Structures are given as C-alpha cells and as structure tokens.
Structure 1
C-alpha cells in the first residue's frame, strides 16, 4: 500500500471542544476510542482514479458525471484530487483492498477527525501548526476575502503542495472536501458509540429529484471553494451519496 501513514489508535474527545462556531451537529464533544489504522498520505488524484476505472471497469455512479466533465474539464486534470460521488469513492477503496488483499475502505468519520487532529489533539485546522497561513500552509486562494466569502473560481491544489500536519498527512484542510464512510444524522454525536464508531446504521432519505430519494453521507475538511473557517477539523458537510460536488475528493484507510 503506497503512501499510507500509520496512525496509532487511542482515545480522544471527538467534536467541537467549545468556542468554535461550527454548527449544532458538531456537539457534544464525546470520548471515542480507536484502534490503530493506516490512512493515505494524500488525496486520491484523478490520475489514480482513471487507472482504477480502466482496470476495474467500474461504472460511475455520480449523477451528471459526464456533463460535469464536459463543463469543467480542467477540474479533472490528472494531478488534482478526484471529484467523485460517495459510491465511486467507496468502490475505489474496496478495489484497492482487493488488489492488495488488505482491509481497505473509506475512513470512518471518527478515523478522519482523529487523523486530521494528529491523534486527536485539540487543533482547529489540520495544518502543520494548527493555523491557517495562506500561501505557506494552505492555498493562497484561501486569503482574507475567501476566508469570509469563499472563492468560486478557484481550483484545488495538487496533493502535497503544502506542509503536512504533524501526523504526516497532506491537504486535510481546505483543499477537497473528503468523503467518509458514515451516514449522516444531525444528532449522532448525542449517542455515538465509544469504541470504533461506525456512524448511524442508516441515513434519512432526502429528495434529490422528482420521485428519487437517497440518504446523505458526510464530508470532512472543508473545500477550496468555501470559507476557510469551514475547513475546521470538526466541521461536517452533508451531501447526498450520489452527488458529486466538483469540490469533492477522498482518501482511503487500511484497518
């Protein structure tokens, strides 16, 4: 498994520790205990994903995938994080596990946050120093104006351009919003399991088109288009599982 970083398990207080205005679904902070795991050092690139498509014959599940590729071809450059739906990200990770005969999957929400916080430390951003310094440890597009209003014209950075967090992981703040395995429930933190939580057993269906409903999943880490404050290590983004925001991306874990 190339570019996997070992993360030693342990206990941490998952969620908003208080004083971070990140939404009601980030509280209460609650103790979680995780086993050891490995997580990819970088976001999966479009080039990586094209290799998977060619080798596996996977059929994209993202709605309007072809239309989005035609409308924004530059967003699908080989060196950039791959924008996909939850289904497509999940398929890549499971395929990677099949090729290596290893238990590979999308990270749980708890694994993602623990890794972003370098072992559960109380840091607001997954940068080398826990702070946002545009042009040094995050994209210059995340400057003061974008910090407040976002930047709809920006592109994500190629993975690895800026320093990693202390755990050795790149781009977990404000690059591509990363899919995690969990269904979404706004009150899940009130009744989360303590040991290796897997998220809710199901998600509340939402209407995505006339006569079509599907559950929502969680994305973490903010994204290059939105206000940089939303890239907090505890903020949560909710997206229907077949949607494919151009600001999306993902990485896999080995359990």
Structure 2
C-alpha cells in the first residue's frame, strides 16, 4: 500500500511544500473532473442549460453529460426543471460561495482599498483570481466618471484573452507553469491562439520588466494589471480599466502604473 510518507520515496506532501505546487502521486478522478467541468459552464447570463448545451460548451459526449447531470441532480448540486428541460445550480453554490468569502479576510478589506485608489486615479479597479483559462472577478469598484467597457460584477468569469488580468497572472507564474497554461489556452482557442500568444508573451515580458502589463484593443478600454502574490488568494491579479485611450499607452502607463503597483503591494501585504 502506498504511503505519502514512505521513506523509500519523497513525501508528496513535502514535495508540495518545497515546490509551492500541489503534488500527489495517486491519480485523480476523471469523472469528478468532468462533473466539475459541467458546473463551470454556469456563469452570468447562462442560468439554465440543457444537456445539449452542456455538451456543446464542454465538448463532452451527450451520454456522458447525461450521466453526469443525473449524478449532480441526485446529489443536490443541480436542479432539473421538468417544464423547461433545463438544469440550474442549487443553493449549494451559494453556500460554497459564502464559505469561500468567509475564509478570505482580504475580501473584507479589498473593496475599500480598491475604491480609494479608483477614485484618486479616476479609473475602475478590480481584483480577480485565475481559474483554468478564465479570471473570476472577486471585487470591483468604479472610479471612472464615464462608463468603461462592460458592466462587471463580482462572480463574473472573464476569459484570459479579453482582459489584461489573465496575461498579468501568466506573467507572475514560473516558466514551467506558464507553459502548461499556454497548452490549455491553445486547446481552448485553437488556431486563434497563435496571435493571442504573441500578445500574451509581450504582456509576460512587460510584467517581468515593469511589474504590470497594459493591453488595449480597438474600441475597448485600456486594461492595466499586476499580479498579487497572496497566500489567502492564490492566482490573484489587480487591474485598472481606463476609458478609451486618448493618449499613448506609455503615457497612461507612466501616469497610472505607480498607483497600480502600490495597490498590488498593499493587497499583497493584506493577503499574506
């Protein structure tokens, strides 16, 4: 019988401590991973989904999805609406969210810290956490006098390629972990990843050089983001959203970059 602390092999718990990354020698559960993949498809604007929609969004076969949704319904994680023939999350999701909220004291302090800087810089400021190939917004404060991009709320999932936050998180990763993440993004985006990778690598270089990256796409606000190394909230990034650029990006970086880095340092200290 395998023992994590077997003297003949390095303890996986010790390897986890030394590497800073979760390590176990036993294989994980493929079925559980697929079930969690289904739960991740429920996001803002998609409250109820059919088996066909779940299959399309995950790439899983319909029979597999049917077995998984049955199990999730039987165990209280999904509710099946007989009239609409759709599935939706149950109160379990809210209960888990409350537990997450209570175990991260940084989330009690972050809104006030974000709001103060957002008002001073006249930008919108947010805090997000990486989850596979998305960033999940956990705090957001408006400081811009004009509307900046989409309406953002805590709990929203934003794909890496749509904001500077995902690229900043990649910039804060060790090189080997970043390559593994690149592989996931390549699988998600297919041929579009070739162009996205150019932008991602430029942002990673900027984080290494300046501590933050700045991204601007046509008809979109300017995004500035910096990684925050927090024990309480691993994979955390702080971002500014600035109204449509009327000045060169280097001018905006010089104006707002110092405040972004100060805020990142404050959040890092608070979340230690």
Structure 1 or 2: larger helix share?
2
Question: Higher Cα Rg: structure 1 or 2?
Answer: 2
Q: Does the alignment reach a TM-score above 0.5?
A: no
**Structure showing greater relative contact order (alpha-carbon pairs closer than 8 Å, 6 or more residues apart):** 1
TM range (shorter): under 0.3
TM-score (norm 2): 0.22
